[in-house]
Structure 1
């Protein structure tokens, strides 16, 4: 199997399973190509025992107020006796350890009646404790009944508290809260034997479901409350049941950011194609494909699709190749597992991973500390990773070629003593930019005086070797920090000295002073050194940008070398870069930082991290633009204050690699109500299968600040202080839908070079607009990257975390305040997020916010 091919984990769930799962059942499931099975932890006998206990005691409880557990007086709760052999089909064996346990769906942990809630909690604890004893490591817990927990939220708190206790019963057991994708009152059906109808009216009151409206984010908010109560436990995840008609994209995107470990597909969400086989709409296919982009993609659980057929002699009819059917037999063959076969077919039709996904395999949502290139000499492997990005260096080569062409076209005087254009690569590393500079000069037919500067002594050794073997000694190498370098130098007597030393007869191993100024090598070397002539640089080239543009001290480094640049015509590549931010929901990153990293690094929540963001949701969005961004309609030079802009997964039975996915559509059926939608289900399904999905909302990504090079405000001498590189910004983000903000995503756009000459029109330029643009731009901004520098992979975004997540209600506003601070030794960032609710046309009220976070202790050293 191809390593990049997607493989789905697919399980079978039978809600009314009455018999224990045996090794034969498990073998049948494997033979039919299922990966896992579910099993109830307790039997109908246990259910009957609990109902009998409740019906016996409830009349006495109802007549005695002191018995109510919700009162302030002592109570005498109904006690459920421990499990007996008749109460559970499970036992500690090899089969049990490969099953997903299912908590009894008839309990009601969020019941407003304290007696019903207490019995439910007892059942939960009994089942979890026994499942952990038997070796079950994954347990499905039916989520709260939204009908009984939607008023004051006390039911959700009660549910979350029960789950928090349940997590302590099995240290190796993971709990999956089983929630619908969206909340709707019609989904709260009650089966015979459920405990919720036994809740007494004095606690439930008169329910008025007629006024209850559809709450698209209600289910997610319920899950968020439970997860917060359980302190973002790594052993608590969510299983999402997909509806027949999918909600708008923002709800789907929110769930995409959550730790969804299982997607359940009931048989009712499938429709029949022309041949009578079950199929999913394109909307469902797209949603599943998108979830498969996760590093650990969710499992798929088929529900209510019939029992698993028994195999003959332990061999599946699908896999038996000992006898070939006749044509008549083949035409009459009926697939015993059509829903499973459809999902396997969908698996085979998944697109291959993109170049970026291949490059970042294993790094999704993985926190990395930013580099400290000024104080730490990078290893060769670090340079090598960056050099694998073909886009960045292709763009640099285009920028250099255009700069050289413009220089010659505009007849600018060069700074070289011999009339050549002087080019310096500062921070050359292993030399990729040096190679590209030479190629660019050759492509435009201009001879350059090329210098390469590197402070890393280990990389400098490799540069010298490249100069001998690759560059044909066309590059002048210097080992120095760019901030202390005195610039290119020419020794006036170099040529004459070289000729004299070559023609001289060797007399001694060490040269001695003879008194002759014409033959003494020591004197010639000394006088040549005294006759050194320093000259300016015409074009400075650097690759000092970090994930936020300036976070690896590019401004400080380039300021230190700017005094060597041609003061009139000098060019810096890059010429400017702008940092961008956007508030995001990132529960996985938040949990990793606040639950794990703070144990070893107390200030872990005040450190910006380099992350390949994947399981996130942009909280601030706007309607999708129908016009794709191009270099001509995207401003990348100056900010506009109001613009928006491989660990394998684990399965109980097997392991498969992750996979990418597609954008996802939405259905408008929920907006007008479920009943109306169901009356036209067939036509809605046909439309969903044939109409292309509307574009997803565009994230609002705003510019914070910009740095330009050369900096016209600097004096001709090296800067004595760095206060001119401090920055401050206040940005306003509209938040259309409620959510929790866990931090800020940081991006950048960089103009390598802006040409004043018009670009020729060619067929290739028409197909790739960035080639025709006068600006050569690198971008990690997801709104502009596809148009400006597609498939670039040198930089992951920067994540600014929060110690405490900030809640935003619907139609609120996030105000983000950021600072770039410095002292004589280092540079650091500070950030703060506040939530506001608009009142009237101009008024607003502050709802809360974060404290000021500061990375000063982990700042970038100068």
Structure 2
């Protein structure tokens, strides 16, 4: 006999792999489990189990009420004035669910026969009342979660739109009734025949209601559409999530990713989702296993719910025979009795055992995923303002924990020194050493890398560390004393006010300042320029030697992509009472549970460049900046924004990008990324040293770099769009010479002819001016 999956289990368990929590659901179960039956389920390999809230007695009572109410309505003289029937309260005959020690470990499953979508007002009203009764009672019993079977038809099908709205309205009301429970809507990934509930709806007659016919064309996104209506009606309530029925045939990746972005509580599998392997045991296809492994990488990974896979629970055994003193064996007689060898041990459920097997096949989480990346999944952080705020030591320490970034910087400095030496460029130091200034040194990691690059190349350097933070300045002095051997000159000043390396004289007595050959900075933000790198480097550019001076970074570009991210939208919505600017803040966040709605099509990439900044700027640009700042522009100042003279207008930007979306969907905002060229060698055959946080480029340019998470520009209201839509994204980088902010909006267009588009939606104009970065 071939070994089962449970036979392959090992005592060793790697805790670095995501843990599977597997539950059991029996659609034919009409009574709550006894203590003994509950134990049987747990012994079969399950972690939790579902329970009905009401029983068949209640079901029959409601059917009789519905039938009599419909008859009364039909016989009424004025049907529109006939009152809705009232469902009476629960009695002890209506349920076997009561508060107990293990009730908190049960998942309630509401009656699948109620029809919240019914066009018959009597049926829909009774169904809504039944749901509220069950929710209220489960809430009283201490149940933590309630699974509610979703609608069996979607709004995309003609004539069913009203039903979805009714369903959503009923869920919204139920959330108000169940104040301490989580609501989980049980929906199919798509309407694959056989995935629906097996129980007939209330007073269903004629054609079966158990699903669509196989000859009907399947709309893959219709079930997701229904979910979108439900959660939007409930305002993205944090207690509302999805139990997703996994089909036998997985759909295209676009739909899998769409559901990945949603708040998944359960992945549910019925026997039809499995196949039988060569040994006769249930198994899943490689595509199903890949989907599971992808979903289980979520910080809040979904649980598993196996439906109608057994085991069959046994009733409580009869009362055991009580032995009297007359028939109780003596010790000698008991010793002579043969040991029982036919004791029945609990059998592991083959489906649960297989999922345990899949659990052990997962790729282990790396140390980085466990400690840093998982904790920061979809966690909102306000962008840093290093110009107006003095950062704390722990913040610098987090930056320094990424060796990839500093390796790239060291590589860039190394190549710059090699080419400087090779081309015999003149230096700004009388000793012939290349003068390097690290602008915004923090605690000095780039200073250390500059010294290492000098040692690697053999090119002598003179290093200056410029830092405005008075606390970090003290730390730099200590580093120079203990780590750098006094080889670094530390200067406490805003880099924009620094006049350059002091060559002779005292700062108070006829000082003479020199120039810098290589200017190094790490002022880049998640969008490249959002921490005011352009403004800072403009302010210190005057110290750079001409014409050979090098800026590291040399350039950086900002990139955008529209995304769907329901969890983040819900998180921002919850902040509104305390943070009125939550939807006007560009958030730094490790985007993970998201859906990139745009497609890769010729001429329209999924990630598109918004703008670019290059350093150093041409002297003509710097001359115009000084002229505007001093009021020397003919016609006066004014600038592009009221109140400014336009001295920083050269750092304002605007972009208009077009993204193509094949399937219908929704966007909650824009994901922002950046790429940077730190140094571009002039020698042939040498690749530039780059940084990138673009999802499709990071592995090639700066693999495993974690210093920067993306930036998220939220929309105040999610924007729904139909199939074959073009999303037009407009964004501005604005400035009034004292601060910098962003403005953005999204418009949706669909084609109605070869040369004509129709606007089908648009967002508000969003602005971060109230949360601007101060210069």
* TM-score, structure 2 as length reference: 0.88
- Find the residue that maps to 2:309 and give its secondary structure: coil
TM superposition shift of 1:111: 1.3
TM superposition shift of 1:210: 9.0
Q: Does 1:471 align with 2:484?
A: yes
Cα distance in 1 between the residues matched to 2:193 and 2:162: 18
Number of aligned residues: 718
Question: Which deviates more from structure 2 when the two are superposed, residues 450-459 or residues 142-151?
Answer: 142-151
Residue of structure 1 in register with 2:27 after alignment: 15
- Residues 279-678 of structure 1 correspond to what in structure 2 (within 5 A)? 279-307=283-311, 335-354=347-366, 356-358=368-370, 359-491=372-504, 530=509, 532-594=511-573, 596-622=574-600, 642=603, 644=605
8 Å contact 2:66–2:122 — kept in the other structure? Answer: no
8 Å contact 2:231–2:240 — kept in the other structure? Answer: yes
TM superposition shift of 1:22: 2.2
- Residues 680-829 of structure 1 correspond to what in structure 2 (within 5 A)? 700-712=606-618, 713-715=620-622, 719=626, 720=629, 721-759=647-685, 774-829=687-742
Give CA-to-partner distance per residue, 1:578-631, whole Å, 9 cap, x none. 00010000111111112x1111111210110000111110110227x9xxxxxx
Cα distance in 1 between the residues matched to 2:48 and 2:237: 24
Cα distance in 1 between the residues matched to 2:348 and 2:43: 12
Cα distance in 2 between the residues matched to 1:12 and 1:534: 76
TM superposition shift of 1:294: 1.2
Residue of structure 1 in register with 2:635 after alignment: none
Cα distance in 2 between the residues matched to 1:612 and 1:229: 28
Choose from 842, 857, 862 the match for 2:755.
842
TM superposition shift of 1:752: 0.4
TM superposition shift of 1:65: 7.4
Q: Does 1:242 align with 2:246?
A: yes
- Residues 162-311 of structure 1 correspond to what in structure 2 (within 5 A)? 162-184=170-192, 187=195, 191-192=199-200, 194-195=201-202, 197-198=204-205, 212-307=216-311
Cα distance in 2 between the residues matched to 1:200 and 1:215: 21
For residues 810 and 382 of structure 1, do their structure 2 counterparts lie closer, same or farther at Cα, with a shift above 3 Å needed? same
8 Å contact 2:523–2:531 — kept in the other structure? Answer: yes
For residues 786 and 275 of structure 1, do their structure 2 counterparts lie closer, same or farther at Cα, with a shift above 3 Å needed? same
For residues 208 and 570 of structure 1, do their structure 2 counterparts lie closer, same or farther at Cα, with a shift above 3 Å needed? closer
For residues 76 and 530 of structure 1, do their structure 2 counterparts lie closer, same or farther at Cα, with a shift above 3 Å needed? closer
Choose from 129, 135, 146 the match for 2:142.
135
8 Å contact 1:729–1:819 — kept in the other structure? Answer: yes
What are the ranges of 5 or more consecutive residues in structure 2 without an aligned counterpart? 1-12, 318-338, 630-646
- Find the residue that maps to 1:483 and give its secondary structure: helix
8 Å contact 1:580–1:701 — kept in the other structure? Answer: yes
Question: Which deviates more from structure 2 when the two are superposed, residues 543-552 or residues 749-758?
Answer: 749-758
Cα distance in 1 between the residues matched to 2:195 and 2:392: 57
Residue of structure 2 in register with 1:30 after alignment: 42
* TM-score, structure 1 as length reference: 0.80
TM superposition shift of 1:155: 0.8
Q: Does 1:46 align with 2:58?
A: yes
TM superposition shift of 1:61: 3.0
- Find the residue that maps to 1:197 and give its secondary structure: coil
8 Å contact 2:671–2:710 — kept in the other structure? Answer: yes
TM superposition shift of 1:189: 6.8
Residue of structure 2 in register with 1:694 after alignment: none
Cα distance in 2 between the residues matched to 1:238 and 1:139: 11
8 Å contact 1:108–1:145 — kept in the other structure? Answer: no
For residues 531 and 229 of structure 1, do their structure 2 counterparts lie closer, same or farther at Cα, with a shift above 3 Å needed? closer
TM superposition shift of 1:421: 1.1
Give CA-to-partner distance per residue, 1:529-562, whole Å, 9 cap, x none. 6464311111000000011000000000000000
- Find the residue that maps to 1:818 and give its secondary structure: strand
- Find the residue that maps to 1:146 and give its secondary structure: coil
Residue of structure 2 in register with 1:113 after alignment: 120
Cα distance in 2 between the residues matched to 1:86 and 1:200: 32
Residue of structure 1 in register with 2:89 after alignment: 82
Cα distance in 1 between the residues matched to 2:535 and 2:715: 27
TM superposition shift of 1:147: 6.2
For residues 3 and 339 of structure 1, do their structure 2 counterparts lie closer, same or farther at Cα, with a shift above 3 Å needed? closer
For residues 19 and 148 of structure 1, do their structure 2 counterparts lie closer, same or farther at Cα, with a shift above 3 Å needed? same
TM superposition shift of 1:107: 1.1
TM superposition shift of 1:17: 1.5
Residue of structure 1 in register with 2:329 after alignment: none
- Between 1 and 2, higher relative CO (CA 8 Å, sep ≥ 6) is seen in 1
Residue of structure 2 in register with 1:151 after alignment: 158
8 Å contact 2:44–2:347 — kept in the other structure? Answer: no
Give CA-to-partner distance per residue, 1:396-443, whole Å, 9 cap, x none. 000000011111111211111222111100000000000000001110
Cα distance in 2 between the residues matched to 1:211 and 1:278: 28
Cα distance in 1 between the residues matched to 2:672 and 2:193: 40
Cα distance in 1 between the residues matched to 2:359 and 2:214: 42
For residues 190 and 488 of structure 1, do their structure 2 counterparts lie closer, same or farther at Cα, with a shift above 3 Å needed? same
For residues 164 and 19 of structure 1, do their structure 2 counterparts lie closer, same or farther at Cα, with a shift above 3 Å needed? closer
Give CA-to-partner distance per residue, 1:472-531, whole Å, 9 cap, x none. 111111111000001011227xxxxxxxxxxxxxxxxxxxxxxxxxxxxxxxxx7x9646
- Find the residue that maps to 2:576 and give its secondary structure: helix
TM superposition shift of 1:794: 0.3
8 Å contact 2:43–2:348 — kept in the other structure? Answer: no
What are the ranges of 5 or more consecutive residues in structure 1 without an aligned counterpart? 68-72, 314-325, 493-525, 626-641, 645-699, 760-772
For residues 311 and 342 of structure 1, do their structure 2 counterparts lie closer, same or farther at Cα, with a shift above 3 Å needed? farther
Residue of structure 1 in register with 2:104 after alignment: 97
- Find the residue that maps to 1:295 and give its secondary structure: coil
Give CA-to-partner distance per residue, 1:781-802, whole Å, 9 cap, x none. 1011111111100011000001
TM superposition shift of 1:779: 0.4
